[in-house]
A and B are shown apart, each in its own frame.
Chain A
Amino acid sequence: MASETKYYLPEGLPSPKAPRDGLGKEFWEATRRHELIVQRCAKCRTFQWGPEWICHKCYTPEVGWHQVSGRGRLYSWIRSWNPVHPALRDACPYIVAVVQLPDADNVRMVGNLLGDPRQNPPFDAEVEAVFEDHPDATLVQWRLIK
């Protein structure tokens, strides 16, 4: 692993940007403020993630946003060894994590698991969100709660 790097993965990966239709722009605005939010239907209170234009349960377009604690559980993870993007050429291996958020009906988010990429974290381990500020956007990473 490289010694001192500012980010978990090297620069050069694409920066997240809300699409032209604006779907999900609230999420990236919130991470800028170091807040984690997910969609929650204003009518029937169903959580959903990633962002959609209508609630998948009651079809209302009144899909609102709900701030979550940033605590989650490590639902699955992989150690990725193949540089699937040129920016990753010298950055392998790294860990990709899928995290469930118990306080949002276990919707899942994807991030990296911070720390040693050679670690073997237990499934369902408790993790917490860590905000990683880049020039154009703030990513959400995860670390094990000791």
Chain B
Amino acid sequence: MSEYTVKDRVAIVGVGETKYYKRGQAPVSEFRLACEAIIKAADDAGIDVRDIDGISGYADDRNDASRLATALGLKHLGFAGMVWGGGGGGGSGAVGNAAAAVNAGYAKYCVVFRALAQGQFGRFGQAPVSNTVSGPAAYTSPYGLYVPAQWVALRTRRFMHDYGINQEPLAAVALADYHHAQFNPRAVMYGHPLTREQYDQSRWIAEPFHLYDCCMENDGSAALILTTADRARDAKKRPAWIMAAAQGSGYRHNAPVENSPDYSSSNFKTLAPRLFEMAGIAPKDVDCAQIYEHFSGAVMISLVEHGFCKPEEVMEFVTFANITAPNGKLPINTSGGNIAECYMHGLELVNEAVRQVRGESTCQVPDCEIALVASGPMVSPVSDLIVHRA
């Protein structure tokens, strides 16, 4: 194994989140939500907020690290980093940046956070209105191709065509997420179960995606805290040790105007093998996985590119029974994820992976030793995280 690794040198020692709201329903500002989540994560870690000395973000977060450090009265800010690119692709990458910063000694306690109040700012699913459009969007917007639901649908459809896949795996993901959310009081869809009939009858957004194949739109914030191995051993709760965390992107994946050479790829093909090598494990060793689901269809492609099944096996592997806790072969998105817990750009998935290896999940996978997070399929970069109980 390469010695260029953060494996077992850094651990996640605290997780926290605000109450998760439907879009537009947060009673306070996005910035205040960010502060609140960070304070909760510090409390969960058993540390003074002022001892945080690193801030790691992604998705071009609006809540600037220096503003946060000022508002929270941090004694010293030794690291502030951002994963480039919008969307959820940077969730695990921000954990990777934090782990690298802690491992390098830039920060002793690094917080990773995401705050999002779509009710206070723009919606990801709606186009800005203007008279003209320039740049790559000039070749797509005039044709009504604007939002991720559409271009993810285009790529998913080609994958489904190539491998003879029907609506069943998509429905399985949506129903599994809703099922798990029924056990999770944090989930926005807690108390709102979804039946197959409701799924089938829900309106199309962009075929093959029904309404329930799409992530929600929410307000809230989530945060987690990483620290060094020696500090982690004294943490208030059982740490979730980092086995591997990395970001990446395949060859010209971001080529403009739908020209990614590997069109229907989730963009994990070059990253996932590096991740498993860094962790020193194989896909079969993973006890549960949190697979970013902006749209259900991309989940099956992420599962394939992480080696959990072959593309020809998707129809047999991605079933409700196989992907639900506690007894599925590979329970996924056990908090309800972006579709039914909260669309916190996937940071809720990282917190859930930590809870799984701590044994604190509301849909606990028995004896969960190893949990994987896959962040942001089809965007660039994407990122991955593996934590274990150790």
Q: Which residues of A contact B (CB under 8 A)?
A: 9, 13-20, 23-24, 28, 48-52, 56, 75-82, 84-86, 88, 91, 93-94, 96, 98, 107-112, 123, 136-137, 139, 141
Contacts and interface: CB of A to CB of B under 8 A. Distances in A.
Contact of A85 (B144, B153, B205): B144
10 contacts: A13-B142, A14-B141, A18-B138, A51-B256, A56-B252, A76-B158, A80-B206, A96-B145, A98-B158, A137-B142
Interface in B138-165: 138-147, 149-150, 153-155, 157-158, 161
Given A17-B138, A19-B134, A96-B154, A50 B143 contact: no
A15 B139 contact: no
The 4 closest A-B CB pairs, nearest first, are A50-B256, A16-B138, A14-B133, A19-B134
B257 A109 contact: yes
Contact of B142 (A24, A76, A109, A139): A139
Contacts of B207: 78-81
B205 A81 contact: yes
Nearest to B162: A123
Interface in B191-233: 203-207
Contacts of A94: 144
Contact of B257 (A49, A85, A123, A137): A49
Nearest to A14: B133
A78 B150 contact: yes
Given A23-B135, A78-B157, A93-B204, 4 more contacts: A15-B133, A80-B205, A84-B147, A110-B257
A23 to B, nearest CB: 8
A17 B142 contact: no
